[in-house]
Structure formats: structure tokens, C-alpha cells
């Protein structure tokens, strides 16, 4: 009985040993790279490695002058913690960086991993000669590098967009690439549009190996690993001017605009110089109050800004003959609260008389029911206005992929209803235009009638600085207004400001002469309206087109004109300092 029991025990021991051996074989030989989803080899190496990421490997954005918009690269000194356990020429390094050696010793004593030599919260920035002297010494654990840092000042967040981790989407997009599940991808803005060009191949990092006790393996120097591809990551050069972008965002914030957008275009190139959307994005809660929406790219009710389209169509179709219009009446024939009397076409435009444009609109649709659509396209309002084209192996690539199409009619039957036509003529009913599109219309007029696509990116560059792809200027349409019509529209837009009753007369004292058009659009939400001012400046030699819209505000609380005026003043100040000389 005892003998039988001992046999059973021995068999169990043998089975346990075989089980352990099998498990060891599985761990060491069979499932080393896929044990419960874990790469045991990589995990083992990581456990014996100390490292410092220098660059996450993702492509970056810069402004039109090459100034960084996402990350900056600061020349810094990296120290590894094993230095505190060995003799090294600390006096030499302290002398080169002009920092007392006590500071270096203290920071090393507190270090639990590789550190950047710092002064409080800021890294100590090195000069090129300092970096060269430090690296020439070839001291193990002491190396000068350009370390990537996220900019503290956020620029054009709605344009650039945000990054986020999403392992499922990452695998769906990049199934053929061996990427870490922690790799960040673009979730909005240009980060999303250009994600396939920006996604990193590998991090750039410094690392060294340690033994089981955490002691350095001195036979192995600190290693510098970087992306194997010498051309990546890509740098995307935008058309944004970082200084003007910052000032525009400050002005919007100072005036407390809670919801709206600002678009500033370079008239000659049709480039976005600055673009802001309110509310600003809080990265801790980016979707709060719809902040992630770029209001500049979304169609809004334009109100009287749309009268520019009606004016252009009326001029080219011979409907303006010096007649007068009864501006004491509304478009439905009812009495206006404020009587404005009989007015000429020019006066009607300057004071924004609804009756005049309601009547002209009905005459135009009677001639051709597609009249508004035709002239909206000629003026660069429809369908979308952002740059679109073939890029590398992507057809119809759109940097501003969040831009939505504008709209004039929702129900074609409305073209047969006089009141609906009149409402459409003054930018109400179903008319929806994005601030970007309205800015494009102003730039088209200021430029002399040539409608272009709006550019937000100039080019993509390889890591070595050579150009990978250029976003050339492109026409939006070849169908333009007659020169006489453009000349008259420019005259009318200036009259809005110079006329004693003009809706833009408050801009008469600005350092640049302004031409433009106001708009007050009913939103269907009680007294809340969209307040617009769209224009360009200087009026006699146009350089910038500017649109400011405050959404869902009351007329009395509107800060649209104040923001517009301040941006003109800021631009004037920068121009006068010679910053934008050709």
C-alpha cells in the first residue's frame, strides 16, 4: 500500500516536472513573441533598459515662415543616473554649460532615470559650440541632443487638430505596419488629414542596459536609436502666420466671443494667414460646448452678406438702371420700423435695404431660377472652397477635410414662391455659407474677379529639408465676373464704410481703408442672430480679406465689429514695422 502511494507521488512529481519543462519551453522557445499578447523578448529587454525618448517620430507642422506650430527642438544636455556611481569629469561639463557642479550632482542624485539638465521647470538650452564640445568628450552617460518639446503656446488648434490613442482605429488604418498600440493618431484638423504622412516609423531615443540589480553594463555605451528612413518624418508647412494667428486668437478671447469664427486670407495667394474658431479647445475636455467644431468651415446663416451675390447678378443682367426702391417696406410689404425712404441701388447696398434686394432677387429668379447658384460659384462661394487635388497616391486630397458645402436652396419649389425667393435674396431661408467661403468671396472681389481655391498648406518637406510635395495655387472656377461688375462691387463695398449711413461707417477711422459688407442673420432662436462683417483692406490696394462672424448672439452684445477693427489695427502695426515686406 505504501509502495503504491510512493509510485503515485513519484508519477505526480514527474508530471509536474514535465509540466514545468513544457512551460519553460513555451516561454523560452515557442511563444517568446506572443505570450498572451506580450512579446516576452521585448519585455525582457525593456526590463533591463533605461531610456529617454528624444523625438516621438511623428511629423510636425510649421507656419509659413518655418516657425513651429506643434513642437520645438531645444538643444539640451542629457545625463544618465549611473553617473552618480562612477567618477566622471563633472568639472569639465559644469564649466562648459556654466552650471555649478553641485547643481549637476543634486539633479543626478534625485534622478530615477535619464534626465535633462534643467533650471527649475525649464531645460537649460545649449549653444551649438557647447553641444559640440560636450559630445567630443565622449563621456558615457553624457550627451547633448536636440530634444523635442510640445509648445506651451497653442497655435491654431482648430486648424492643426488634436491627437489621440485609439488602438482599434490604428490597426484598421495601418494594418500593414508594425506600430506600437500607444501610437497617437490624428483625430481632427490637419493632424487627421495628413495622418498617413505624419505617422511615425520609430521613436528617436537614448538607451542603456542594466544588470539584474539595475547597475549599468559598462561594456555597453549609451545607444542612440532613430528612424531608419532618412527622409521621415515629414514636415508640413502651413500658410498660417504664427504671429498674426496668435494676435487674432488673443483679440477673440479679449472680446469674449463665445461662439463664432475669424478667417484672414492673403488676397494675392488666397492663403489662410489666420483662422480662429470659438469656443477655444480645452484639451482636458475637448468636446465641451461643441469646441471641437471648426466654425469657420461649417455653413452658417449669412444674412445680408449674401446681397453681394444678388448685386453681382443684378449688375450683369442689366437690372440696375438708376431706379429707386421703397426702403420703408419689408420684403413682405409690411412697414419697416425705421423708415429709410426711397433709395438708389447704391444707397440700398450701403445701408443694407432688404426691400431692394428682395425685389431684385425675384426679378433674377424670373429670368433664370439658377441665377443665385451661378453667381455664387463665380464669386467663389460654392460648393467647397478649400484646396483639393491629387497628392501622391491620394486622389481628391483635401487638407481641410472638415469643410462642409454651402447651400442656397433646400426645396426647389421655393424658387416659385415670391416670398421664399425674397427671403433667400437677403441670405435667410435656407442659405448657408461657411465663413471660409465668405472670405473667399471677398478675396475674389479684391483680387479682381479670379476665384481661387483656399490654401492652408504650402508644402510637405522631407526630414532633410527638400520638398516632397507642393500645394500649388489653383483656380476654383474659370467662370468669372465681368471687369465692370467687379469694379462696381468694389465701389459698393467701399461705400458701405464711407457712406454717412453705411453699416460699416464705424470703420472710417481705421489706419487702413476698409471695404466690406455687414450681415445680421436671424437664426430662428428668438432674438439670437449671426452678426457678420466681411471685407478686405487696404481698400485701394487689397492685401487681406477678413471675415468675422459671431454666432447666436444678440445685436446689442455683438463684438463682431470690434474684433474686425482690432485685427485691422494689429495687421497695420505689423506691416508698418516692416515684418511683411516682400
pLDDT of residue 561: 98
Backbone angles phi, psi at 146, to 5 degrees: -90, 110
To which H or E segment does residue 549 belong? strand 544-553
Pseudo-torsion of CA 278, 281, 282, 288, nearest 10°?
Answer: 70
Closest by Cα among 575, 581, 564 to 248: 564
Q: Out of 277, 304, 352, 518, pick the active-site residue.
A: 304
**What is the distance between the alpha carbons of residues 58 and 44, in angstroms, rounded to a whole number?**
26
pLDDT of residue 581: 44
Q: Is 528 exposed, middle or buried (0-12, 13-18, 19+ CB in 10 A)?
A: middle
Could you tell me the maximum CA-CA distance found in the chain, to the nearest angstrom? 125
Q: Tell me if 435 sits within 8 A of 261, measured CB to CB.
A: yes
Domain boundary assignment for the chain: 57-70+153-238, 72-150, 242-576
Tell me, yes or no, if 193 is annotated catalytic: no
pLDDT of residue 48: 53
Peptide bond preceding 291: is omega within 30 degrees of 0, i.e. cis?
no
Q: Note the pTM of the prediction, 2 decimals.
A: 0.87
pLDDT in tens, the chain (582 residues): 666 777 677 777 777 776 666 665 554 555 544 444 444 444 444 445 667 788 888 999 999 999 999 999 999 999 988 888 888 999 999 999 999 989 999 999 988 888 899 987 789 999 999 999 999 999 888 989 999 888 988 899 999 999 998 888 888 888 888 888 888 999 999 999 999 999 887 777 766 666 665 555 555 456 555 555 667 789 999 999 999 999 999 999 999 999 999 999 999 999 999 999 999 998 889 888 889 999 999 999 999 999 999 999 999 999 998 899 999 999 998 998 888 899 999 999 999 999 999 999 999 999 999 999 999 999 999 999 999 999 988 999 999 999 999 999 999 999 999 999 999 999 999 999 999 999 999 999 999 999 999 999 999 999 888 999 999 999 999 999 999 999 999 999 999 999 999 999 999 999 999 999 999 999 999 999 999 999 999 999 999 999 999 999 999 999 999 999 999 999 999 988 665 443
Long-range contacts of 393-401 (CB under 8 A, 24+ apart): 394/196, 397/193, 398/193, 399/190, 399/193, 399/194, 399/456, 399/457, 399/471, 400/193, 400/297, 400/436, 400/454, 400/456, 401/192, 401/193
Closest by Cα among 492, 497, 494, 493 to 508: 497
Domain 242-576 is found in CATH 3.40.50.360: no
Interior CA angle at 131 toward 130 and 135, to 5°?
120
Q: At the fourth CATH level, which superfamily is domain 57-70+153-238?
A: Penicillin-binding protein 2a (Domain 2) (3.90.1310.10)
pLDDT of residue 46: 45
In DSSP notation, 168-199 reads HHHHHH-TTS---TT-EEE-SHHHHHTHHHH-
To which H or E segment does residue 521 belong? strand 515-525
For the beta carbon of residue 301, count every other beta carbon within 10 angstroms: 25
Backbone angles phi, psi at 302, to 5 degrees: -90, -20
Q: At the fourth CATH level, which superfamily is domain 72-150?
A: Penicillin-binding protein 2a (Domain 2) (3.90.1310.10)
In DSSP notation, 304-370 reads GGGHHHHHHHHHHTT--SS-EEETTB-TTSPBPSS---EEEHHHHHHHT-HHHHHHHHHHHHHH-TT
Instruction: Kindly give, in sequence order, each residue whose CB lies less than 8 Å from that of residue 334, ignoring residues fewer than 6 positions away.
Output: none
**What is the distance between the alpha carbons of residues 458 and 64, in angstroms, rounded to a whole number?**
8
Strands 60-62 and 515-525: unpaired
9, 292, 298, 312, 557 from 528: Cα distances, Å: 86, 22, 18, 29, 10
User: N- to C-terminal Cα distance for the chain?
Assistant: 105
Topology match between the domains 57-70+153-238 and 72-150: yes
Pseudo-torsion of CA 439, 443, 445, 447, nearest 10°?
Answer: 180
Determine the angle formed by the axes of helices 354-367 and 371-378, rounding to 10 degrees: 110
**What is the distance between the alpha carbons of residues 351 and 353, in angstroms, rounded to a whole number?**
6
Amino acid at each position: 500500500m505504501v509502495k503504491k502511494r510512493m509510485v503515485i507521488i513519484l508519477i505526480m512529481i514527474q508530471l509536474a516536472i514535465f509540466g514545468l519543462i513544457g512551460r519553460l519551453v513555451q516561454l523560452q522557445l515557442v511563444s517568446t513573441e506572443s505570450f498572451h499578447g506580450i512579446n516576452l523578448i521585448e519585455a525582457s529587454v525593456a526590463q533591463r533598459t533605461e531610456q529617454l525618448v528624444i523625438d516621438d517620430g511623428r511629423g510636425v507642422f510649421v507656419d509659413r515662415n518655418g516657425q513651429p506650430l506643434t513642437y520645438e527642438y531645444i538643444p539640451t544636455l542629457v545625463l544618465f543616473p549611473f553617473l552618480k556611481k562612477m567618477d566622471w569629469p563633472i568639472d569639465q561639463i559644469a564649466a562648459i554649460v556654466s552650471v555649478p557642479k553641485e547643481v549637476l550632482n543634486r539633479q543626478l542624485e534625485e534622478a530615477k532615470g535619464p534626465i535633462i539638465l534643467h533650471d527649475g521647470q525649464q531645460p537649460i538650452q545649449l549653444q551649438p559650440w557647447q553641444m559640440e564640445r560636450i559630445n567630443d568628450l565622449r563621456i558615457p552617460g553624457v550627451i547633448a541632443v536636440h530634444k523635442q518639446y510640445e509648445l506651451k503656446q497653442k497655435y491654431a488648434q482648430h486648424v492643426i487638430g488634436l491627437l489621440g490613442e485609439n488602438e482599434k482605429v490604428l490597426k484598421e488604418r495601418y494594418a500593414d505596419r508594425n506600430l506600437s498600440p500607444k501610437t497617437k493618431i490624428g483625430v481632427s484638423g490637419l493632424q487627421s488629414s495628413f495622418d498617413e504622412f505624419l505617422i511615425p516609423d520609430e521613436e528617436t531615443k537614448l538607451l542603456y542596459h542594466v544588470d539584474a540589480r539595475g547597475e549599468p553594463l559598462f561594456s555597453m555605451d549609451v545607444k542612440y536609436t532613430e528612424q531608419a528612413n532618412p527622409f521621415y518624418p515629414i514636415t508640413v508647412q502651413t500658410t498660417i502666420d504664427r504671429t498674426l494667428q496668435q494676435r487674432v486668437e488673443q483679440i477673440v478671447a479679449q472680446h469674449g466671443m463665445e461662439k463664432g469664427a475669424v478667417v484672414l486670407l492673403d488676397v494675392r495667394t488666397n492663403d489662410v494667414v489666420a483662422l480662429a474658431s470659438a469656443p477655444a479647445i480645452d484639451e482636458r475636455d475637448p468636446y465641451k460646448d461643441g469646441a471641437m467644431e471648426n466654425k469657420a468651415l461649417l455653413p452658417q446663416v449669412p444674412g445680408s452678406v449674401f446681397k453681394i451675390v444678388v448685386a453681382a447678378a443684378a449688375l450683369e443682367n442689366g437690372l440696375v438702371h438708376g431706379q429707386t426702391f421703397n426702403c420703408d417696406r419689408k420684403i413682405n410689404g409690411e412697414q419697416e420700423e425705421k423708415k429709410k425712404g426711397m433709395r438708389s441701388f447704391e444707397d440700398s447696398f450701403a445701408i443694407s435695404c432688404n426691400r431692394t434686394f428682395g425685389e431684385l432677387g425675384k426679378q433674377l429668379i424670373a429670368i433664370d431660377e439658377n441665377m443665385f447658384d451661378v453667381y455664387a460659384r463665380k464669386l467663389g462661394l460654392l460648393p467647397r472652397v478649400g484646396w483639393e487635388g491629387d497628392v501622391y497616391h491620394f486622389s481628391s486630397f483635401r487638407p481641410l477635410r472638415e469643410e462642409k458645402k454651402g447651400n442656397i436652396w433646400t426645396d426647389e419649389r421655393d424658387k416659385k414662391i415670391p416670398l421664399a425667393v425674397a427671403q433667400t435674396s437677403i441670405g435667410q431661408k435656407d442659405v448657408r455659407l461657411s465663413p471660409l467661403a465668405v472670405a473667399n468671396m471677398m478675396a475674389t472681389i479684391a483680387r479682381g474677379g479670379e476665384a481661387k481655391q483656399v490654401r492652408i498648406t504650402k508644402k510637405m518637406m522631407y526630414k532633410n529639408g527638400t520638398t516632397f510635395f507642393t500645394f500649388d495655387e489653383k483656380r476654383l472656377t474659370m467662370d468669372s465676373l465681368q471687369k465692370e461688375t467687379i469694379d462696381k462691387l468694389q465701389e459698393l463695398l467701399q461705400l458701405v464704410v464711407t457712406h454717412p449711413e453705411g453699416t460699416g461707417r464705424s470703420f472710417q477711422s481705421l489706419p487702413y481703408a476698409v471695404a466690406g459688407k455687414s450681415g445680421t442673420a436671424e437664426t430662428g432662436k428668438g432674438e439670437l442672430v449671426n452678426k457678420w462683417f466681411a471685407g478686405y483692406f487696404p481698400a485701394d490696394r487689397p492685401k487681406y480679406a477678413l471675415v468675422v462672424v459671431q454666432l447666436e448672439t444678440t445685436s446689442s452684445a455683438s463684438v463682431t465689429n470690434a474684433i474686425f477693427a482690432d485685427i485691422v489695427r494689429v495687421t497695420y502695426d505689423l506691416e508698418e514695422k516692416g515684418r511683411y515686406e516682400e
